[in-house]
Amino acid sequence: MTGWKPWVTIKAPWLFHFNSHRGNLMAFLFLRGRGELRKEIPDMAISKKVKNALNGASWVRRMFEEGEELKRLYGEENIFDFSLGNPNLEPPASLKKALKALADCPIPGMHRYMPNCGYSDTRQAIAEYLKEESGLPFDEKHVVMTVGAAGGLNIVLKAILDEGEEVIVPSPYFMEFKFYIENCGGKIRLVETHDDFSLNLKEIEKAIGAKTKAILINSPNNPTGVVYDQASLEKLGELLKKKSQELGKTLFLLTDEAYRRIVFDHIQLPIAFRNYPHTIRVTSHSKDLSLPGERIGYVAVSPLCEDVEEMIAAIIFANRTLGFVNAPALMQRLVAPLQRNSVNVREYEEKRDLFYNSLTSFGYEVVKPQGAFYLFPKAPIEDEVAFVKELQSKRILTVPGRGFGKPGYFRIAYAVDRKVIEGSLPGFKEVAEKFGAGKR
Ligand SMILES: Cc1ncc(COP(=O)(O)O)c(C=O)c1O
């Protein structure tokens, strides 16, 4: 118990004597800013690695938790919370109907253990969809059902990584990737994207070396909403072929496609399976069917992948031994017939339009996203943490770009009701005017 510190330290209680709403908010932000309201992690018997990770807590989680506190103080309706990418749309009505039907007429044994890769029927339905989409000879053995995309990423990384091997990740990026890679003994190697957040193939080429095992791309992207186009995926495929040959080993392309069906402007998302044989797709129904709490996703290994059967066996082994065992049984049954369905993506597109048009009219510099439900504008001042704090004073919650490896920017997650976006716009405008947005 050496070095124990209280969980909450408040060094300036006088600040709580403010009795107006604004006073409370300013006191809260002041203390937060000085780290005096931060929950500290006492010295305990936990691993140093985890302790470090906890002390550097995720910015998304931090902002989300601050938001929860602000909501308690001011009421939920008075906070404009864009911190967490938590889909606000309901799952398709057909899913709820099927859930009710299953509950009313249960299938004998439907709650039992199953093969670690998941139900054959579900994997077959997904394989048919993949075959049609890619033109490749997918069948059920190429599909492993997973506990969301997060579970899928962990088991794929576990299956491929030896201690110290590197995974290249274009930045800005979804920060959890770092932890997933480190969970499996690997090292993340970040590579900057271009200013428009497209893939920088020259930088990727420079980063590939003897320790490289894979590149992990995410399109549509969290945090930028950017979609990698066909040409860049073709070039990436060529580069990976060339480098695999030069290094005398196979490099893998891992594609996180958690937002695959959330695309706008009638674009067709390129199919990476067609551009590189050693491709493994990880995805889920968290976003397209609005089921993040149900933890259902899958991994699909290209039928053209080297040693495909061994690879799949390794992924199934990792699913079992990392303790996932198998993906949730009920959800596997429910998503099988919904492979061509999704929530109404146009609703996200309309919100993108409203937000993007408003922010750019206030002077913010924003790359127009073509998918997912995020905007990643440039902060009008270099210190985006200070900027995000200023937005908080208008009760707007966003996440500093450094939480995604890109200081100077901030992320807005707009999977929220339209009225939340509308309510926040005057605050965004005031802060833009204060800092002269667009002049940096
Ligand atoms: C890029 C990316 N990958 C993976 C995940 C995890 O998805 P899931 O909830 O299906 O595990 C998320 C969740 O926000 C994400 O943004």
Q: How many A from CA of 361 to the centre of ligand 1?
A: 31
372 Cα nearest atom in ligand 1: 16
Q: How many A from CA of 328 to the centre of ligand 1?
A: 17
Give me 187's structure tokens: 């090292």
Cα–Cα nearest to 257, from 305, 299, 198: 299
Among 147, 167, 169, 174, residue to substitute to test ligand 1 (most atoms within 8 Å of Cβ)? 174
Cβ–ligand 1 contact at 148 (below 6 Å):
yes
Other CB atoms within 10 A of residue 425 CB = 17
Cβ–ligand 1 contact at 297 (below 6 Å):
yes
Element (H, E) at 48: helix 48-55
Give the separation between CA 382 and CA 362, rounded to whole angstroms.
18
Alpha carbon 341 to chain centroid, angstroms:
21
Local structure of 252: helix, strand or coil: strand
Other CB atoms within 10 A of residue 265 CB = 12
Q: How far is CA 224 from CA 31, 201, 248, 429, in A?
A: 30, 18, 34, 21
CA angle (123, 129, 132) in 5-degree steps: 140
Q: How far is CA 332 from CA 117, 291, 326, in A?
A: 11, 12, 10
Q: How many A from CA of 149 to the centre of ligand 1?
A: 6
Cβ–ligand 1 contact at 150 (below 6 Å):
yes
Q: How many A from CA of 90 to the centre of ligand 1?
A: 18
Give the separation between CA 287 and CA 307, rounded to whole angstroms.
31
CA angle (111, 121, 124) in 5-degree steps: 145
How would DSSP label each residue in 306-371?
TTHHHHHHHHHHHHHHTT--S--HHHHHHHGGGTT--S-HHHHHHHHHHHHHHHHHTT---PPP-B
296 Cα nearest atom in ligand 1: 10
- For 71-112, the pLDDT digits (tens) are 888 888 899 999 999 999 999 999 999 999 999 999 999 999
Residue nearest to atom 16 of ligand 1 (CA): 222
Evaluated on CA atoms 217, 218, 219, 225, the torsion sign reads negative
Cβ–ligand 1 contact at 218 (below 6 Å):
yes
151 Cα nearest atom in ligand 1: 11
Q: How far is CA 65 from CA 58, 286, 392, in A?
A: 11, 21, 13
Q: How many A from CA of 150 to the centre of ligand 1?
A: 6
Among 176, 254, 281, 399, residue to substitute to test ligand 1 (most atoms within 8 Å of Cβ)? 176
Cβ–ligand 1 contact at 256 (below 6 Å):
yes
Other CB atoms within 10 A of residue 89 CB = 17
Local structure of 253: helix, strand or coil: strand
174 Cα nearest atom in ligand 1: 1
pLDDT at 34: 45
Q: How many A from CA of 386 to the centre of ligand 1?
A: 27
Cβ–ligand 1 contact at 85 (below 6 Å):
yes
Side chain identity, residue 257: E
Give the separation between CA 27 and CA 23, rounded to whole angstroms.
6
For each of the chain's 440 residues, which pLDDT tens digit applies?
333 343 333 333 333 333 344 444 444 454 454 444 455 556 678 999 898 888 776 777 778 788 888 888 888 889 999 999 999 999 999 999 999 999 999 999 999 999 999 999 999 999 999 999 999 999 999 999 999 999 999 999 999 999 999 999 999 999 999 999 999 999 999 999 999 999 999 999 999 999 999 999 999 999 999 999 999 999 999 999 999 999 999 999 999 999 999 999 999 999 999 999 999 999 999 999 999 999 999 999 999 999 999 999 999 999 999 999 999 999 999 999 999 999 999 999 999 999 999 999 999 999 999 999 999 999 999 999 999 999 999 999 999 999 999 999 999 999 999 999 999 999 999 999 999 877 76
286 Cα nearest atom in ligand 1: 10
DSSP tag of 179:
H
Give the separation between CA 24 and CA 16, rounded to whole angstroms.
7
Among 145, 177, 216, 222, residue to substitute to test ligand 1 (most atoms within 8 Å of Cβ)? 222
Q: How far is CA 304 from CA 139, 309, 405, in A?
A: 12, 10, 33
Q: How far is CA 419 from CA 80, 254, 351, 388, 400, in A?
A: 9, 37, 10, 21, 23
Give the separation between CA 13 and CA 399, rounded to whole angstroms.
27
Q: How far is CA 376 from CA 104, 284, 359, 409, in A?
A: 45, 23, 11, 6
153 Cα nearest atom in ligand 1: 4
Go through 214-225 and write b for each residue having 16 or more CB atoms within 10 A of its CB, e for each that does not: bbbbbbbbbbbb
Cβ–ligand 1 contact at 286 (below 6 Å):
yes
DSSP tag of 287:
T
